[in-house]
């Protein structure tokens, strides 16, 4: 029996963990035991609990309740807490997902204890080290034993940093195993899509059933914490919604909401343009998000996960950033980088609404990423 210790903490990790835990339960329960630790990085019900209940993720055995603080504080406290529970649980391997501070803390705590780190969503790079996520990814990949990349670009990026597949194993810190697994988020979209469309009543509540609308998410610090950038994004939304006479739905991450309140922009003139149709709603659950994505004509986002979900739903995406880890989407012409620039956002949105892209080839695997990962974990030597 392999004992896996899974570290989660932030919203996108709950979503990815759901896919792996589901397949462990369905097909690998004889060979794999999973123990989950929640760092508590995300603690709001709308960012955490709702994902566990809706996606039927097993209850975490441990919760560090770390909450929000500076990067050093938050990561440091996580490392301390994770170390304690790794020593107690004595797992064969520690699974970390993506690129958040919870990922970094889990990877460092495990590697220092010489417990193999299994990094899921390895190899992604924005080549912009001012993003905390870029530092987290690079560090985590370099201390991992098994690396699962969702895309071939991820495998190439790892190769350029000297991390290459070291044959059939056994794998170790110094002889890493690099695998192209496909994307767990695609597994989830396929699994939950029908359920979401049947169960979620959000579109009818918003009176948007069958009607065109634009879906927007904004939560990255360089968009939220730089007042000019957030204002520019909202100005662009006002322009595009009034020019094209189309509603814009903006579920607010708590960080974005708090900043808009603090600067007075939530109550100020920014959202009061009489011709615009921006509608602010609270952060939504996974099923509601899938419904919004499936119903939208166009998606604008600075989230990595939402960029991919746009692709899974065959929707064009305007990326509110200057670079993307998902270069395939941009190269295919189905996503356009627009930063926080009013003209670029408006032009890209108009182009996509007038001429939506038609072709979305399969670049994120076949929906079997969880099974591929578990096959490697149960059939190769890495412990």
Our answer to whether residue 219 is catalytic in this structure is yes
User: Residue 178 Cβ, how far from ligand UD1 at the closest point, in Å?
Assistant: 23
Name the nearest CA neighbour of 157 among 302, 340, 323, 377: 323
The set of residues, in sequence order, having a beta carbon less than 8 Å from that of 236 and lying 6+ positions away, is: 341, 342, 345, 346, 349
In the chain, where do the E strands start and end?
A: 2-8, 32-38, 62-63, 93-97, 117-120, 146-149, 177-180, 214-217, 248-252, 278-282, 298-301, 317-319, 335-337
Of 203-211, 238-246, 251-259, 360-368, which part binds ligand UD1 (CB under 6 A)?
251-259
> Quick one: which of 6, 21, 39, 100 contacts ligand UD1 (CB under 6 A)?
100
By beta-carbon proximity to ligand UD1, the closer residue of 8 and 342 is 8
Contact status: 258 vs ligand UD1 (CB under 6 A)? yes
Rg of the chain in Å (alpha carbons) = 20
Residue 49 CB, shortest distance to ligand UD1, in Å, is: 10
Residue of the chain from 6, 39, 41, 301 that contacts ligand UD1 (CB under 6 A): 41
Distance CA 147, CA 166 (A): 11
What's the min distance (Å) between Cβ of 127 and ligand UD1?
16
130-133: which pairs have CB atoms within 8 A and are 24 or more residues apart? 130/222, 131/220, 131/222, 132/71, 132/101, 132/221, 133/98, 133/99, 133/100
- Asked if 134 touches ligand UD1 (CB under 6 A), the answer is no
Nearer to ligand UD1, 246 or 280 (CB): 280
CB of 52 vs ligand UD1, minimal distance in Å: 13
Confirm or reject binding of residue 279 to ligand UD1 (CB under 6 A): no
49-88 binders of ligand UD1 (CB under 6 A): 68
**Binding segment for ligand UD1 among 95-103, 168-176, 243-251, 291-299 (CB under 6 A)?**
95-103
What's the full length of the chain, in residues? 383
Task: Give the residue, chosen from 34, 54, 133, 328, that forms a contact with ligand UD1 under the rule CB under 6 A.
Answer: 133
Q: Which of 7, 10, 184, 319 contacts ligand UD1 by CB under 6 A?
A: 10
Return d(Cα 283, Cα 298) in angstroms, integer.
18
By CB under 6 A, tell whether 44 contacts ligand UD1.
yes
254 in contact with ligand UD1 (CB under 6 A):
yes
- Spatial separation of the C-alpha atoms in residues 380 and 383, rounded to whole Å: 9
Dihedral angle, C-alpha 24, 30, 33, 34, nearest 10 °: 10
Distance of alpha carbon 371 from its chain centroid, rounded?
A: 20
* Interface pattern 11-30 for ligand UD1 (x via CB under 6 A): xx------------------
Provide the sign of the torsion angle of the four alpha carbons 302, 303, 304, 310, taken in this order: negative
Active-site hit among 38, 219, 253, 277:
219
Preceding amide of 170 cis, omega within 30: yes
Only one of the segments 40-48, 89-97, 232-240, 290-298 lies at the binding site for ligand UD1 (rule: CB under 6 A); that segment is 40-48
Min dist CB 194 to ligand UD1, Å, is 25
Give the CA angle between residues 348, 350, 352 to the nearest 5°: 70
- Residues of this chain that interact with ligand UD1 (CB under 6 A) are 10-12, 41-44, 47, 68, 99-101, 132-133, 219, 254-255, 258, 303
Q: Catalytic site residues? A: 219
């Amino acid at each position: 029996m392999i004992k896996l210790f899974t570290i989660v903490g932030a919203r996108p990790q709950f979503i990815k963990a759901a896919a792996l835990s589901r397949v462990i339960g369905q097909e690998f329960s004889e060979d794999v035991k999973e123990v989950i630790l929640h760092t508590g990085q995300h603690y709001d019900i709308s960012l955490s609990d709702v994902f566990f209940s809706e996606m039927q993720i097993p209850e975490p055995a441990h919760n560090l309740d770390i909450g929000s603080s500076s990067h050093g504080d938050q990561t440091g406290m996580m490392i301390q807490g994770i170390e304690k529970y790794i020593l107690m649980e004595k797992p064969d391997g520690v699974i970390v997902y993506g690129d958040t501070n919870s990922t970094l803390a889990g990877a460092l705590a495990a590697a220092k204890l010489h417990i193999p780190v299994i990094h899921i969503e390895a190899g992604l790079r924005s080549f912009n080290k001012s993003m905390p996520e870029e530092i987290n990814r690079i560090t985590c990949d370099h201390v991992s034993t098994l690396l699962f990349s969702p895309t071939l670009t991820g495998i190439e990026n790892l190769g350029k940093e000297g991390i290459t597949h070291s044959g059939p194993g056994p794998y170790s810190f110094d002889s890493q195993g690099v695998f192209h697994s496909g994307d767990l988020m695609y597994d989830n979209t396929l699994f939950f899509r029908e359920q979401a469309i049947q169960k979620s009543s959000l579109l009818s509540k918003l009176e948007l059933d069958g009607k065109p609308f634009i879906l927007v998410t904004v939560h990255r610090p360089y968009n939220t914490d730089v007042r000019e950038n957030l204002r520019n994004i909202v100005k662009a939304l006002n322009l595009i919604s009034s020019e094209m006479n189309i509603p814009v739905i903006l579920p607010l991450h708590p960080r974005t909401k708090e900043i808009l309140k603090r600067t007075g922009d939530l109550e100020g003139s920014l959202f009061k343009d009489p011709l615009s149709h921006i509608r602010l709603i609270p952060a939504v659950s996974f099923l509601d998000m899938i419904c919004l994505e499936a119903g939208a004509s166009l998606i604008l986002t600075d989230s990595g996960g939402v960029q991919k979900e746009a692709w899974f739903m065959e929707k064009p995406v305007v990326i509110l950033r200057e670079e993307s880890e998902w270069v395939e989407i941009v190269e295919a012409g189905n996503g356009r980088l627009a930063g926080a620039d009013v003209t670029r956002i408006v032009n890209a949105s108009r182009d996509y609404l007038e001429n939506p892209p038609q072709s979305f080839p399969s670049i994120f695997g076949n929906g079997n990423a969880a099974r591929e990962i578990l096959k490697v974990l149960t059939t190769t030597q890495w412990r």
